[in-house]
Amino acid sequence: MATRKTQTTAKPSTARKAAAQPANKPAAKPAPRKASRPAAEESAKADAKPAAKAPAKAPVKAATPKKPENKAVKARKPKMVRDSFTMPKPEYAAIDTLKARATQAGRPAKKSELLRAGVKLLESLTPADLLAALQALPAIKTGRPAKAR
């Protein structure tokens, strides 16, 4: 019986792939192997060591010059609160009258400015004067007024 010899050749697929890639394009990198458990623990320990040294290298904030303390400290703007309230019509009309008086005096004022000025004046009163001013006010029902039909 005659034995037939077979020719063995290198795999043509790898040779074709290398020839098909352009010269300026880098070859694809092989996928990284999964690390075994002890190696992963060692790499985690190795990663932890530089992290411990990092705070020692970061005195950049301490190196920045401090501002002189003799400068005046900027006042922060207070937070605003939006609120609503009920007021009798005659007292609400008094606000318009006060606005007109402020304009005649040369200093136009907004409604909120007048209310804030009134609060400041009430703050300056003695407790007895404050109670007297509160008792002079008529009692009103709180909440929104009923709709006019």
- The whole-number average pLDDT for the span 105-124 is 96
**Domain parsing of the chain, residue ranges:** 89-135
Handedness of CA 98, 99, 105, 107 (dihedral sign): positive
Backbone phi, then psi, for 98, in 5-degree steps?
Answer: -65, -35
Backbone phi, then psi, for 146, in 5-degree steps?
Answer: -65, 145
Indicate the pLDDT class of residue 74, thresholds 50, 70 and 90: confident
Helix (H) / strand (E) element for 37: namely helix 37-57
Global pTM value: 0.46
- The whole-number average pLDDT for the span 7-21 is 55
